[in-house]
C-alpha cells in the first residue's frame, strides 16, 4: 500500500480524499494556489505545498508544479479527484514516467474515452447501443447537412473532447446547423483545446442514467448500480439519486449488463462511470464513459456501503477487489443536492465571504464540503460549495431528510441555490419520480409564468 498520496485538487473532493487516506493510514500532501492558503484541505493534510498563483493554468493545471510537489514530498501516488487533471492522459503518462502512481485508469483508457467520438465508434463496434449520429467527428457543414437530414432534426452538435456540458448545441433546422457548428467548435477549442465535434440525434425528454463501475488490475469488473442524474441546468447535474425510479429490475439488469460490456470491451481499471440516455420507450443509449471519480459518487456509497475513494486507492496499489458482483447489495435510497454559490434567480456566480454557516445533521445526513464560517468562496474556481446527501430506507424518507436538511442549512454572506433545491424537493413531478433532462427548465418556466400571472 502507498505510504503517501499527493492530492492534485482542492475543495470538498480534496478533503474527501484526505478522509479516505486517514482511514487507510496513508500520509497526505495538499497542493494549493495562493488563493487557497486558508483552505481546509491545506489544514487537514499532513503536508502542504503552494504550487502557484490562483489561475488554474498557473497552479492546479500546472503539471510541472504538481509533479515537483510530489517529488519534493516523496509521494508515491497522486489522486487527481475530478476536474483539473483528472482526465488528462498526458498527466497520467507524466506520473508514470516519474514513477508516481496515478490513481485512475491507464493513460490509453483516458485518451480513448476522452475522445467521445472515438468512444462512440468503439462501442458501436462492440455492439453497444449508441444514439444515431455521425461515425466519428464531422469536418464541416457539407458533411453535416446530409447527415443531419438523414438522422432527422433536432440534432445535437457535441465537442469530441467535451465535459461539464460545454461545447454542445441543439439544432432544430438546417438553417441553424452552420452557426451551431462553428459556435460549438469555437467553444470546444477554447474550453478543451480541440475543436472537433460530432453529431447525434437530440432526444427530447430523456433521462440521464449512469452506472458506477469498479475494475481491478486482474480483470475483475463489477457495477455498483445506477445513479439518476436527470435534474440538470445547461446539461450540468444539480440533483442526483440512487436508485432511479425509472428502472424496473429487468431494465436495470439489462442496462447493468451493457455498462459492464462497455467496461470489459476496453479492459477498464479503477473507478469509472458509464453514462446512458434512456428514452420514454425504455430504449437506452451509451453517451460516454467518465474515467474518474464523479461528483455524485456519494449516493452510490450511501446505498452500497462501499467507499469508492478507498477502492480507487486499493486498486491503484494493486489490490484485487474484495467483493464479487453477487456480494454487492444496494439498500435504501440516497439523494444528493449540489449547493452552489450562485444567485438562485439568475444563476450568476456569487463568490465572497461566508459570514454565517450552519450545516444540518442527524440520521441519514451527510455533507461533503470544504466551506466553513468566515471562509471566502473564491471567484477563480467552481461554484459548488457543498454536497448535501441524504439516505433513507426508501425514497420518501430520503426526500424528507433532504427537506429538513435544506430548511436548517444556513449560508449567509453569499447567495446559494438552496432555495431552488427546496422547490425541487416539494415539486409534485419530482416526488412522483417523473423526471427527464428538461425537468428543471420546466420548473423554472412555471415560476416565471406564475410571476407574470400575478
Of 11, 80, 105, 206, the residue at the interface with ligand ADP (CB under 6 A) is 206
Question: What are the φ and ψ backbone dihedral angles of 369, each rounded to 5 degrees?
Answer: -155, 155
Rounded Cα–Cα distance for residues 422 and 404 (Å): 9
Does residue 148 contact residue 197 with C-beta atoms inside 8 Å?
A: no
My answer on whether omega of the bond before 149 falls inside 30° of 0, hence cis, is no
Residue 144 in contact with ligand ADP, rule: CB under 6 A: no
Closest to ligand ADP by CB, 186 or 325: 186
Nine-digit cell string for 5: 498520496
Residue 165 in contact with ligand ADP, rule: CB under 6 A: yes
Q: Please, what is the angle between helix 395-408 and helix 418-426, to 10°?
A: 150
Long-range contact list for 169-173, CB < 8 A, 24+ apart?
Answer: 170/202, 171/202
Residue 199 in contact with ligand ADP, rule: CB under 6 A: no
Nine-digit cell string for 170: 441543439
Residue 296 in contact with ligand ADP, rule: CB under 6 A: no
- Reduced to 3 states (helix: H, G, I; strand: E, B; else coil), residue 201 is strand
Residue 233 in contact with ligand ADP, rule: CB under 6 A: no
Taking the complex as a whole, the smallest distance from the CB of residue 179 to ligand ADP amounts, in Å, to 19
Of 12, 200, 342, 382, the residue at the interface with ligand ADP (CB under 6 A) is 200
Residue 164 in contact with ligand ADP, rule: CB under 6 A: yes
Of 275, 296, 301, 368, the residue at the interface with ligand ADP (CB under 6 A) is 275
Number of residues engaging ligand ADP in binding (CB under 6 A):
19
Stretch 107-136: interaction string toward ligand ADP, x if CB under 6 A: ------------------------x-----
Closest to ligand ADP by CB, 32 or 198: 198
Stretch that binds ligand ADP, among 99-107, 162-170, 186-194, 297-305 (CB under 6 A): 162-170
Stretch that binds ligand ADP, among 202-210, 216-224, 330-338, 375-383 (CB under 6 A): 202-210
Q: Helices in 307-427 by DSSP H: which ranges?
A: 308-316, 395-408, 418-426
DSSP helix, strand, coil percent of the chain (3-state; round to 5): 40, 25, 35
Nine-digit cell string for 24: 487507510
Of 203, 266, 315, 411, the residue at the interface with ligand ADP (CB under 6 A) is 203
Of 10, 111, 185, 208, the residue at the interface with ligand ADP (CB under 6 A) is 208
Q: Exposed, middle or buried, 140 (CB in 10 Å: 0-12/13-18/19+)? A: exposed
Which residues are annotated as catalytic? Answer: 292
Question: What are the φ and ψ backbone dihedral angles of 29, each rounded to 5 degrees?
Answer: -125, 125
Does residue 283 contact residue 131 with C-beta atoms inside 8 Å?
A: no
Residue 416 in contact with ligand ADP, rule: CB under 6 A: no
Closest to ligand ADP by CB, 340 or 350: 340
Tracing cell 432526444 back to the chain, one arrives at: 203
Taking the complex as a whole, the smallest distance from the CB of residue 246 to ligand ADP amounts, in Å, to 14
Nine-digit cell string for 419: 432555495
Q: Can you say whether the dihedral through the CA atoms of 444, 197, 262, 300 is positive or negative?
A: negative
Rounded Cα–Cα distance for residues 436 and 418 (Å): 21
Of 9, 33, 137, 232, the residue at the interface with ligand ADP (CB under 6 A) is 232
Of 2, 202, 211, 430, the residue at the interface with ligand ADP (CB under 6 A) is 202
Residue 235 in contact with ligand ADP, rule: CB under 6 A: yes
Residues within window 376-395 making contact with ligand ADP, judged by CB under 6 A = none
Chain residues binding ligand ADP by CB under 6 A are: 131, 156, 162-165, 200-203, 206, 208, 232, 235, 275, 277, 287-288, 437
Amino acid at each position: 500500500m502507498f505510504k503517501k498520496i499527493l492530492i492534485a485538487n482542492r475543495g470538498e473532493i480534496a478533503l474527501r480524499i484526505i478522509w479516505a487516506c486517514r482511514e487507510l493510514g496513508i500520509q497526505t500532501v495538499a497542493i494549493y494556489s495562493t488563493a487557497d492558503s486558508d483552505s481546509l484541505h491545506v489544514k487537514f493534510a499532513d503536508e502542504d505545498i503552494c504550487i502557484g498563483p490562483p489561475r488554474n493554468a498557473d497552479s492546479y493545471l500546472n503539471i510541472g508544479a504538481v509533479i515537483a510537489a510530489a517529488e519534493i514530498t516523496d509521494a508515491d501516488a497522486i489522486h487527481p479527484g475530478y476536474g483539473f487533471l483528472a482526465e488528462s492522459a498526458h498527466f497520467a503518462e507524466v506520473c508514470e514516467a516519474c514513477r508516481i502512481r496515478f490513481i485512475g485508469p491507464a493513460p490509453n483508457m483516458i485518451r480513448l474515452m476522452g475522445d467521445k467520438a472515438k468512444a462512440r465508434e468503439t462501442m458501436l463496434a462492440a455492439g453497444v447501443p449508441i444514439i444515431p449520429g455521425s461515425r466519428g467527428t464531422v469536418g464541416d457543414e457539407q458533411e453535416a447537412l446530409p447527415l443531419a437530414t438523414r438522422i432527422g432534426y433536432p440534432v445535437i452538435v457535441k465537442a469530441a473532447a467535451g465535459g461539464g456540458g460545454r461545447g454542445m448545441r441543439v439544432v432544430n433546422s438546417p438553417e441553424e446547423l452552420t452557426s451551431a457548428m462553428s459556435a460549438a467548435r469555437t467553444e470546444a477549442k477554447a474550453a478543451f483545446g480541440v475543436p472537433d465535434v460530432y453529431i447525434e440525434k437530440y432526444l427530447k425528454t430523456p433521462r440521464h442514467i449512469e452506472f458506477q463501475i469498479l475494475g481491478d488490475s486482474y480483470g475483475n469488473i463489477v457495477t455498483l448500480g445506477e445513479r439518476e442524474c436527470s435534474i440538470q441546468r445547461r446539461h450540468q447535474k444539480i440533483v442526483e439519486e440512487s436508485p432511479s425510479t425509472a428502472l424496473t429490475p429487468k431494465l436495470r439488469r439489462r442496462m447493468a449488463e451493457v455498462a459492464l460490456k462497455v467496461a470489459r470491451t476496453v479492459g477498464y481499471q479503477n473507478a469509472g462511470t458509464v453514462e446512458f440516455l434512456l428514452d420514454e420507450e425504455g430504449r437506452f443509449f451509451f453517451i460516454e464513459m467518465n474515467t474518474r471519480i464523479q461528483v455524485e459518487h456519494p449516493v452510490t456509497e450511501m446505498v452500497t456501503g462501499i467507499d469508492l475513494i478507498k477502492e480507487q486507492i486499493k486498486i491503484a496499489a494493486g489490490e484485487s477487489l474484495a467483493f464479487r458482483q453477487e456480494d454487492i447489495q444496494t439498500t435504501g435510497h440516497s439523494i444528493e443536492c449540489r449547493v452552489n454559490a450562485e444567485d438562485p434567480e439568475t444563476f450568476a456566480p456569487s463568490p465572497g465571504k461566508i459570514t454565517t454557516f450552519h450545516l444540518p445533521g442527524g440520521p441519514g445526513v451527510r455533507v461533503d464540503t470544504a466551506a466553513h464560517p468566515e471562509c471566502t468562496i473564491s471567484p477563480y474556481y467552481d461554484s459548488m460549495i457543498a454536497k448535501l446527501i441524504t439516505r433513507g430506507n426508501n425514497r420518501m424518507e430520503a426526500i424528507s431528510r433532504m427537506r429538513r436538511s435544506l430548511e436548517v442549512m444556513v449560508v449567509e454572506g453569499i447567495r446559494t441555490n438552496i432555495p431552488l433545491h427546496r422547490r425541487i424537493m416539494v415539486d409534485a413531478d419530482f416526488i412522483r419520480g417523473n423526471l427527464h433532462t428538461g425537468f428543471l427548465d420546466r420548473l423554472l418556466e412555471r415560476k416565471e409564468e406564475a410571476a407574470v400571472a400575478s
